[in-house]
A = this chain, B = another copy of it.
């Protein structure tokens, strides 16, 4: 476990033992919720630390980390700010490798006392060589090891299933909302980190770690600002990571007014957005410009192969959706090639005469699911087709759940980017869930689908040609 230390922060994610300093049996308190979280999933040793108790939730409690008879890899600190320096010094003397300081009351308060306390903490950490996440943070949720300092009970914040997405969020509340949202949307998560005031471990360390982490297939970041002097290194690390896994960034503090809000929030220097954007582009970051795009982009980037060029074919059972998709894709800069004569001929052979074989290919409302299959079989392998979007409204009488097998089978055969538009109620939701479980991203909105495909295209271009 913690023996294979990657850039010194492995102990945060895979500790053999954890001390929870400020643990308490009191209902509803942060110091209790965190003990409960660890008890639920963590396989290593758990040591509650609090001089007032001998035992907490069935675990032996110690007055200080120094009293624990065994080694401690990770300490989680939830005591009030003024006591943090003392317990951190104890950690140093105990040779604790890593600490997550949950406690607030530091620089973010804007007070002289807060600033002074934070400086003291920085100095102690440096003196003892302890790595710190925080203070004033929600910490780490690790879906593999069970490290879980998100101090919200399961009732308040559902834990998502295991999966390939890791994320780093400068905002703790946003991190918890996003985890909860991902749980609801059945999106698999690997590790989630929120670092608060980031006096030590920051985006650079985390992106490097997650880049090397074989459980992480895609990284999402909510950034207000990169620490002064760390920008260049951050971009270098990302450039390396992006070769193997997509990095989606949501930048907050884009506008002058937003920067000002960010300054009040995390004292972040949100900086000039244009400069950030240019840098993101240079290193292959896919930027999500809205909350929706975070999830929309993640699901296509996680499941679809690279998109070689920008030519898209649309196949639909609803002419209106075909027109909407054509507009949306064109607006994103995609080309919708006119169906070449040989393909037209092939399609004419398998389709009733009233179907439209132009691109968008309109199978019309009397289509059945098999019509999608035979057309997809003709269209997807063509060398001039880089991606296919299916506008497959499930309301038409001929659509059954066989549609899912048909689409997945053809997709598995040719492995080109494929997505589905599906609008409606229970039935549509069932289609969506089944398709997404089998690797085909589904969108309700043609415009959001087009933007998601654009994200895949941008990432593909960067990986294949080294520029966006």
Binding site for B on A (CB under 8 A): 28, 104, 109, 152, 155-158, 169-174, 176-178, 180-181, 183-184, 222, 224, 252-258, 260-262, 264-266, 270, 289-292, 317-324, 326-328, 330-331, 336, 354, 356, 358, 360, 362, 365, 393-397, 423-429, 444-448
| B residues near A270, Cβ cutoff 8 Å | 323
Within the assembled complex, what's the spacing in Å between the Cα atoms of A222 and B423?
15
Within the assembled complex, what's the spacing in Å between the Cα atoms of A331 and B444?
25
Extra contacts, 15 of them, besides A172-B365, A222-B320, A261-B326 (Cβ < 8 A), are A158-B424, A158-B425, A173-B318, A174-B318, A174-B320, A177-B318, A180-B425, A180-B427, A181-B424, A224-B323, A255-B331, A262-B323, A264-B362, A290-B328, A290-B445
Q: Tell whether A426 pairs with B158 under 8 Å between CB atoms, given A265-B320, A395-B180, A447-B290.
A: yes
Contact sample, A vs B, 24 pairs, CB 8 Å cutoff = A152-B395, A155-B427, A158-B425, A169-B320, A171-B321, A173-B317, A173-B365, A174-B318, A177-B318, A184-B429, A253-B323, A255-B327, A257-B326, A258-B324, A258-B326, A260-B358, A264-B319, A265-B356, A265-B362, A290-B447, A291-B324, A291-B445, A291-B448, A292-B445
Which of B158, B261, B397 has a CB less than 8 Å from the CB of A323? B261
Task: Find out whether the CB atom of B395 lies under 8 angstroms from the CB atom of A176.
Answer: yes
Q: Tell whether A171 pairs with B319 under 8 Å between CB atoms, given A255-B327, A327-B254, A446-B291.
A: yes
| B residues near A260, Cβ cutoff 8 Å | 326, 358
Q: Tell whether A174 pairs with B327 under 8 Å between CB atoms, given A180-B424, A180-B425, A446-B291.
A: no
Within the assembled complex, what's the spacing in Å between the Cα atoms of A375 and B365?
53
Task: Find out whether the CB atom of A264 lies under 8 angstroms from the CB atom of B425.
Answer: no
A399: shortest Cβ distance to chain B, in Å?
8
Within the assembled complex, what's the spacing in Å between the Cα atoms of A290 and B183?
27
Which of B104, B291, B327, B393 has a CB less than 8 Å from the CB of A252? B327
| B residues near A257, Cβ cutoff 8 Å | 326-327, 330, 336
Pick the most buried of A169, A260, A323: most chain B CB atoms within 10 A of its CB: A323
| B residues near A177, Cβ cutoff 8 Å | 318, 321, 393, 395, 423-424, 428
Within the assembled complex, what's the spacing in Å between the Cα atoms of A252 and B322?
10
Which of B181, B256, B264 has a CB less than 8 Å from the CB of A356? B264
A301: shortest Cβ distance to chain B, in Å?
19
Within the assembled complex, what's the spacing in Å between the Cα atoms of A169 and B266?
47
Q: Tell whether A358 pairs with B264 under 8 Å between CB atoms, given A292-B448, A320-B171.
A: yes
| B residues near A324, Cβ cutoff 8 Å | 174, 252, 258, 291
| B residues near A362, Cβ cutoff 8 Å | 264-265
Pick the most buried of A157, A172, A266, A291: most chain B CB atoms within 10 A of its CB: A291
Task: Find out whether the CB atom of A170 lies under 8 angstroms from the CB atom of B320.
Answer: yes
A26: shortest Cβ distance to chain B, in Å?
13
